Amino acid sequence: TAQPLIVAIDGPAGAGKSTVAKLVAGSLGVPYLDTGALYRALALFLDARGIPPVECDALYSALQEVSLEITEKEILLEGKNVGAEIRTPRIDTVVSAYASLPMVRNRLLDLQREQGKRKGLVADGRDMATVVFPDARVKIFLTASDEERARRRFLELRERKENARYEDVLEQIRERDRADSSRSTAPLRKADDAVELSTDGLTIGEVTGSVLALVREILNKENHNDAVQ
Ligand code: CDP
Ligand code: CDP
């Protein structure tokens, strides 16, 4: 098959998408695309300018003006690496409201699709398999219980020496999932043809191994079909 390999990974916050997607991409030798970082970068830009998450002229102009670039290693907002600034409690709180707006989602659609055209990619987000890459050859929906996902986030925050209460982290994760799943444009949901992988109690290595095994199985099947035809 001549089509570049697209692996689409969706799921709720803290399911392990970005960690696993990065490792899978490295192992397959294709680029990794963190689409959550794109939404976070736009949220950072809009929030800093005091533009509220409603579809209005100010939002439209800001989205026309903003410069957002994807390089091999990082995402550049107005030419600057904002890797740290986009992962703050403030952005965690506001990002879903901006991400619910069709204007915001449209701004990112071609940018995301463009990335996969040359070398393929492993992309993670909420609507990879349903909207952005509906023809992806591999579609995975990663999940874990709310409590497990909150525990992972909590440990991550503690590692970074940030003060957080487990109960608050759990409530914030639930609130973001609620917002992402209930919006009308590109809500978080499993694509009908995606494989669901529950990761409760599994290590990062085990999940990565399962995803890679699935990718190989699908590629082998395609090769076999090509040979038969
Ligand atoms: O890593 P984490 O699960 O905390 O979030 P993320 O993947 O960085 O995504 C942050 C937010 O961006 C999500 O809660 C969604 O509101 C939005 N998002 C989206 O709407 N569609 C995507 N493809 C990716 C992220
Ligand atoms: O991208 P997403 O929000 O889905 O999750 P992540 O940022 O990749 O993972 C959240 C945290 O859970 C990270 O600290 C991972 O190291 C950890 N994790 C884990 O402990 N076990 C897994 N099977 C997957 C992720």
Q: What CATH number is associated with residue 49?
A: 3.40.50.300
- Per residue in 72-91, pLDDT (tens digit) is 889 999 999 999 999 998 99
User: Who lines ligand 2 at CB under 6 A?
Assistant: 11, 13-19, 152, 156, 199, 202-204, 207
- Per residue in 161-175, pLDDT (tens digit) is 888 999 999 999 999
Provide the b/e sequence for 43-78 (b: ≥16 CB within 10 Å). Answer: bbbbbeeebebeeeeebeebbeeeebebeeeebbbe
Average pLDDT in the 203-217 region?
98
> Does residue 60 fall inside a structural domain?
yes
**What's the pLDDT at 67?**
98
Calpha distance 65→61 (Å, rounded): 6
> Does residue 86 fall inside a structural domain?
yes
Q: Which of 34, 152, 211 to mutate to test the pocket of ligand 2 (most atoms within 8 A of CB)?
A: 152
Domain span including residue 131: 6-228
Percent of the chain topping pLDDT 70: 99
Residue with the nearest Cα to atom 18 of ligand 2? 16
Q: Tokens representing 117?
A: 């055209």
Q: How many CB atoms lie within 10 A of CB 153?
A: 19
> Does residue 1 fall inside a structural domain?
no
> Does residue 81 fall inside a structural domain?
yes
CB 126 within 8 A of CB 180: yes
Number of structural domains the chain divides into: 1
- Is the complex ipTM more than 0.95? yes
pLDDT category, 1, cuts 50, 70, 90?
A: low
